[in-house]
Each structure stands twice: as structure tokens, then as C-alpha cells.
Structure 1
């Protein structure tokens, strides 16, 4: 029997995993209550960057807002996976717009780039016990 594990991931590895992802979940308390929505994103330096459309619920994030951002990868076949949780505050993205050319996946005009300046990172890696 191979033992399972549940271990924490250090900040450097969390950033590396964030950099490999393309879809994450952003959570915040909106004008309509608690929201958790998927977004396509990229990592630029130490900031998570995604685009939003004005007049949408995600458009609220164009104003400074405290958020949580979560990315994971789970393999149900091998019962292994990892999860990274970041926290920070949204701010307008002032970096190179070329970094955003693959965003967003959703059709429409999402032309407001938002950066989440990270203030907290935590990650976990898990594996079930196996034969």
C-alpha cells in the first residue's frame, strides 16, 4: 500500500502553479452578495490578471476590491491534485497589454484589464492512499 499525503506548497511553487494555469475562480463580496466566478487569467509578475466588461458583475472589480483567487488541478483517476489560494486587492492593470492577448475565452467586449496584487498565497497538494 502506498500512503497518501496532504502537504503544504511553498509560495514559490504556488506562483509557479498559478503561472501554469489559465482558468481560476475569483471570489468577493459584491453588491449582490458573495460571488465566486470562473475567469480566464494570466500571471504577470506576481499579479493575477484578467479582463472584465463594464456593467457586469465582474466589472465591479474595476474598483479596488478585496478578493480571493483559487486555482486547482485534480486528477480523479489517480486521486491526486493541488490547490492554490491567493488573496489580494484588485487594481487597474497598467502593464503591457500584449500579455493579455489570449484573454478572455468568453465572447463579448471584456476590455477592462484587472490585476490582483497578491498579499497572501497558500497551497496544498493531496494524494489518496493507493494499492
Structure 2
């Protein structure tokens, strides 16, 4: 009888700088927020801007109106992005938790669109939401005994 044995993996906690560097290496992630008192998750595009995570959400998404209603402070959200190999299960995951606010300044929106999402300015209907990180955690999963290496 053959038994399947899970490959030996090692988990390495990342410091904030490395976690944010990895987050900046991908453009898609998931924003987690509360909708009608229940957790909700939406896939969105993101970019790092001066240490903040800025996500692009269609106006039909619940996050943008939620951030708009909450006033100056914003609403607490989590943002997760990763690069995990589906076969080996090796890679990394980063979670940012912080206050989200709708980006309403037209000049700032224009700058973000031009730098990161030029097609959004043409498509219309997209809103940017800025998440100021209060807590950043990240984990790198590598092979045991091997050198820790991230997708670079």
C-alpha cells in the first residue's frame, strides 16, 4: 500500500518591507470587507503608492460605496495577494489590514490611472480605494532544507 506523503515545506515569516515588495510584484489580489454585517471578498487590481495599497474597484462593487459612507477615517479592510504554485504549494502570501478610503481628488485619480491603469480612464465606471496599512503580515513557503527564495 502506497501512502501519499506531503512534501516537506518550511514557513518563513516575512518582514514588512519584504512583504510589501512581494505585494508590489503582482497586480491582482482580494479585498476583504464587511457587507450587510457579513464578510465579503472581491478580486481587484492593485498598485502600491507611497506605502499604501490602492485598489481599482468597479462602481458596482460594494467596497467603494462603503468606504465613501464611512467619512474621514475610512473603513477597516484586509487585502491579500499571493503567488502560490498550484502543484508544489510553494510561494508567498501577504495580508495588509488597514483603513480604506475612496480616492476622490481628480488630480490624484488621474495620476493613479495614468501610472497604473490607463485603460480605466477610458473604460470609466472605476473607482480607486486607498488602503493605508496598519498591519502587514507575510509568509513565504519554501522547501525544507532548501534556501528560502521568493518569486522575484
Gaps of 5+ in 1: none
- 1:19-49 CA-partner distances (Å, limit 9, x unpaired): 1110010001113621011001111111111
More helix by share: 2
Which aligned segments of 4 or more residues in structure 1 are displaced greater than 4 angstroms?
A: 104-108
RCO (CA 8 Å, sep 6+): is it higher in 1 or 2? 1
Residue 75, structure 1, aligned to residue 89, structure 2: no
How many residues matched? 129
Higher mean C-alpha displacement, 28-37 vs 117-126: 28-37
Residue 84, structure 1, aligned to residue 94, structure 2: yes
Pick closer, same or farther for the CA change 1:55–1:81 going to 2, 3 Å. closer
Please give the alpha-carbon distance, in whole angstroms, between the structure 2 residues aligned to 1:89 and 1:55: 20
Counterpart residue number, 2:57: 52
Gaps of 5+ in 2: 1-6, 69-73, 146-152
Counterpart residue number, 1:24: 29
TM-score under structure 1 normalisation?
0.81
Residues 50, 103 of structure 1: 8 Å contact kept: no
More strand by share: 1
Q: Secondary structure at the match of 1:91?
A: strand
Counterpart residue number, 1:98: 111
Q: Secondary structure at the match of 2:59?
A: coil
Please give the alpha-carbon distance, in whole angstroms, between the structure 1 residues aligned to 2:83 and 2:118: 20
